[in-house]
Structure 1
Amino acid sequence: RMLLAVLFALAASSAEPGACAAPDAPDVVNRRGWDKCERCGGSERLGALVNIGDVRRADADAVSRVLGAVRDYGVVVLRGQDLTRHEQVEFTAKLGEVVALPGSFEGQDPEPGEPAIQRVTNFWANGTWKGAGKSFGQYWHQDGQFWPRSHRHILSMLYASAAPATGGQTGFADLRGALRALSPP
């Protein structure tokens, strides 16, 4: 069973308070290996595999490493985690304030007993299939885009308890890299 946690920071202009500045890294595709952090993705700036061990035992230094990697690489993968729903929320709280989505959120599938977790799955909490017409979020979007601009500096944590060997249809775009690649106005 493959388990992983993914965190990503929303792209933000460096002029905004708390914004993530783009790191100075050359555009190299699929470079691997870097101390205890392995880049895994399509660009030097997007994606890092960070090993901090069991996140339930993460101390302040480990949390700082994760947050630094999120700031620098946008998407961070923490492999090999086996967490209960409550432990997911506890780890999220180590990273910052836990934010529950509003009741009017389009997905309308919160985890029973853990309102801070929004289930993104083909099955309802009781195990029944949602049906062919119940896909959610299958379009390019920015998590938290509905929040006021001053509250968009959030991290989203995705926890896969089951993942297909290929596909999965989750993608991430390096908007900081795209902005840097634009020609001057």
Structure 2
Amino acid sequence: MSVFDVRRIGGRIGAEVTGVDVRDLSDTIFGEIHAALLEHKLLGFRGQDLTDDDQVAFAARFGALTGAHPTVPAVAGRPEVLPVDSELARANHWHTDVTFVRTPPKISTLRALVVPPYGGDTLIANTASAYLDLPGELRELADRLWAVHTNDHDYVRPGTSGVDPAKAAEQRKVFLSRTWKTAHPVVRLHPESDERNLFIGGFAQSIVGLTSQREGRAILDILQTYVTRPENVVRWVWSPGDLVVFDNRNTQHYAPDDYGDLPRLLHRVTVAGDVPVGADGRRSYIVEGDDASHYTPAATAA
């Protein structure tokens, strides 16, 4: 008989949970899993072999769910499930999910349906340990900075192979069918652990108060190098049926485009999050676009 266990898989981020079926968790065991997620920021569950219904039910234990995406269509008949399909686009960039809206998801779940025989892994980074790595002077600067996050940039790009150019162009058109720009604190306070972390990533495109986007981009690039230091990153090697859960409030992730024209398909379900709060207590605000209430129920409580 298997025994529930949480085994660390990275020095600063990540743990594998064994001995559980996420379809059948007592409140006590789920509470331990939730606590482990806050501690390790990423949890992996091997061989769960879930259905979309199972994934949705598990994710919903963490809170109200978002829609699949603000603009990209969901899986047919499952409005909460986003297909992450390599045939449409490959978002091989460091990012935190949907930070261009005022209330980004708090938790993301990814489930592997089709994985290539090589490559196609997911890298996840601890943005809280990255913040602690900053030199004191840079940390004090970061505490005061705000960044504008937007979906209106060259984010969803076709991969080097395996992506039909026409499909990629259509996917980009859908992705940008509505535009959002939101100002978030560069240093975010985690609402449960109170940890500070670098809340930036691929959607962060400029710094509030700087007229030159080039200058803002340079500052963001410097901070981003701390996020992606190898000691802050763990690599999840997928097998079909795996489920990965990560805290979207203090992580970034990246899916390297390193598997040629082979298929890769994951399903994503995300949990609605709150309005980020900065080190000075101020809350994120909308620069352009609406509150995305069609996508996340958190918008009505913001």
Fold-level similarity (TM above 0.5): yes
The TM-score normalised by the length of structure 2 is: 0.41
Query: Matched residue of 1:72: which SS?
Result: helix
Matched, 1:37 2:6: yes
Cα separation, 2, equivalents of 1:102 and 1:51: 30
Tell me what 1:157 maps to: 109
Amino acid paired to 2:74: P
2: CA distance between counterparts of 1:67 and 1:152?
19
2:10 is the alignment partner of 1:58: no
* Cα shift at 1:165: 4.2
In the other structure, the counterpart of 1:13 is: none
Q: What amino acid maps onto 1:121 in structure 2?
A: D
Alignment of 1:1-185 (within 5 A): 36-41=5-10, 44-104=11-71, 108-122=72-86, 130=87, 134-148=88-102, 151-152=103-104, 154-185=106-137
Over 3 Å counting, the alpha-carbon distance change for 1:61 and 1:144 in structure 2 is farther
CA shift digits 1:140-175 (9 cap, x unpaired): 111131221xx3361000001232344214211111
Matched residue SS, 2:98: coil
What residue number does 2:293 align with?
none
User: Which protein shows a greater Rg?
Assistant: 2
Between the two proteins, what is the percent identity of the paired residues? 28
Q: Partners of 1:153 and 1:117 in 2: how far apart?
A: 13
Contact 1:45 1:74 in 2 (8 A): no
C-alpha distance 154-52 of structure 1, shift in aligned 2 (>3 A): farther
Counterpart of 1:160 in structure 2: which amino acid? Answer: A
Partners of 2:52 and 2:91 in 1: CA distance: 21
Cα distance between partner residues in 2 of 1:166 and 1:177: 29
Quickly say closer, same or farther: Cα 1:152–1:102, change in 2 above 3 A: closer
Unmatched segments (≥5 aa) in structure 1: 1-34, 123-129
The one-letter amino acid paired with 2:54 is E
Q: Pick 1 or 2: higher relative contact order, CA cutoff 8 A, min separation 6.
A: 2
Residue pair 1:63, 1:95 contacting (<8 A) in 2 also:
no
Distance 1:38 1:165 in 2: 25
The CA RMSD over aligned residues, in Å, is: 1.9
Letter in 2 for 1:66: I
TM-score by length of 1: 0.65
More strand by share: 2
What are the superposed Cα offsets for residues 96-134 of structure 1, whole Å, 9 maximum, x if unpaired?
Answer: 111114442xxx241111110100013xxxxxxx4xxx3
Amino acid at match of 2:53: H
Equivalenced residues, count? 134
Query: Runs of 5+ in structure 2 lacking a partner?
Result: 138-302
Q: What is the SS of the residue equivalent to 1:49?
A: strand
Structure 1 residue 136 displacement after superposition: 3.3
Distance 1:101 1:161, change over 3 A: closer
Cα deviation digits, residues 40-93 of structure 1 (max 9, x gap):
13xx23000012511110121122122111111111101120111111101111
